[in-house]
Amino acid sequence: MTSDYTQLLNNLETLKLIEIKNRIDEITGLVSSNNISFTEGLLKLTNMEIDHRKESIVRSMVKVGAFPFIKEVKDFDFDFQPSINKQEILELENLGFIDRAENIVFLGPSGVGKTHLATAIGIAAAKRRNITYFIKCQDLITQLKKAKAENRLEDRIKHFNKYRLLILDELGYLPIDKEDSKLLFQLIDKRYEKKSVIITTNINFGEWDEVFGDPVIANAILDRILHHAKVISINGKSYRLKDHINKENKNNE
């Protein structure tokens, strides 16, 4: 009996039925005590394995996303940032914009929650098995420049284009010269009307000429981003100062 049991565990491990292996004693105990039938026991075990695999896929998709932190829409303090329409964000979290290959732009000063919301929507997308990737704009450009220097730019653009949702954080925080702007344009153009992009920026659209150093390229990028886009403008206090402000208020009471 012991050898049969050991062989069973080995077979389950070979077949990579890890959750069944981990839970088999629990379910066989219920079967042995006649609390459930043999068929019900098998059903429970297979359901546990299916649920475990689904959870593993979700965890893998979130890990692939390279998010800077794990925060969801439910973690956002909309009361602190009343300029944001909560219902609008919840609708974006439903991810219809991805099916329509539309973009989202979070526009506002530093610290108001742009990255939090972009990440939260990205995590929602990853959890529903939409391959997603988060990267700071400057890091993206650095990778594209390196790829160009090594004669593999096309492959690198294909790499970033494979993601159904690409999140570009902090566009415009640092100036982008003309040659770098051309690299970014190639990627944006490749994704245009095919796959979604979420962008966070503190630069008003009328000032993009200055950021990109070339009005023609700036307008071309802006045109492709905004043609099918939802723009969320955020005007409010720095979200990072929230705890400090709350502490001051308590001290003044």
The predicted pLDDT at position 153 comes to: 97
If pLDDT is split at 50, 70 and 90, which confidence band does 72 have? Answer: very high
Q: Is residue 148 part of a domain?
A: yes
Beta bridge partners of 106: 200, 232
Q: What are phi and psi of 249, to 5 degrees?
A: -60, -40
Give Cβ neighbours of residue 232 (< 8 Å, ≥ 6 apart).
84, 88, 89, 104, 105, 106, 107, 117
Q: Answer whether residue 140 shows pLDDT above 90.
A: yes
Q: Are residues 94 and 133 in the same domain?
A: yes
Average pLDDT over residues 110-137: 95
Q: Are residues 142 and 163 in the same domain?
A: yes
Q: Are residues 124 and 43 in the same domain?
A: no
Q: Are residues 170 and 78 in the same domain?
A: yes
Domain that residue 23 falls in:
2-64
Average pLDDT over residues 82-99: 96
Q: Is residue 131 part of a domain?
A: yes
Domain boundary among 64, 92, 112: 64
Q: Are residues 56 and 78 in the same domain?
A: no
Q: Are residues 118 and 227 in the same domain?
A: yes
Q: Are residues 14 and 138 in the same domain?
A: no
Instruction: Count Cβ atoms below 10 Å from residue 109 Cβ, excluding itself.
Output: 12
The pLDDT tens digits of the residues spanning 154-182 come to 999 999 999 999 999 999 888 899 999 99
Average pLDDT over residues 81-104: 96
Q: Answer whether residue 4 shows pLDDT above 70.
A: yes
Measured CA to CA in angstroms, residue 151 lies from 137, 176, 217 at distances of 21, 21, 22
**Taking a C-beta distance cutoff of 8 angstroms, is the pair 171, 202 a contact?**
no
**Taking a C-beta distance cutoff of 8 angstroms, is the pair 135, 108 a contact?**
no
Q: Is residue 253 part of a domain?
A: no
Q: Are residues 161 and 198 in the same domain?
A: yes
Average pLDDT over residues 140-145: 96
Q: Are residues 41 and 152 in the same domain?
A: no
Please count the structural domains in the chain.
Answer: 2
Q: Answer whether residue 126 shows pLDDT above 60.
A: yes
Averaged pLDDT of the chain? 91
Q: Is residue 224 part of a domain?
A: yes
Looking up residue 192, the CATH number of its domain turns out to be: 3.40.50.300
Share of the chain above pLDDT 90, in %: 70
Domain boundary among 64, 82, 105: 64
pTM tops 0.85, yes or no: no
Q: Answer whether residue 1 shows pLDDT above 90.
A: no
Q: Is residue 167 part of a domain?
A: yes
Q: Are residues 33 and 77 in the same domain?
A: no
Average pLDDT over residues 86-110: 96
Angstrom distance (rounded) from CA 243 to CA 245? 5
The pLDDT tens digits of the residues spanning 205-243 come to 999 988 888 899 999 999 999 999 999 999 887 766 665
Angstrom distance (rounded) from CA 147 to CA 54? 35
Instruction: Count Cβ atoms below 10 Å from residue 192 Cβ, excluding itself.
Output: 16
The predicted pLDDT at position 34 comes to: 82
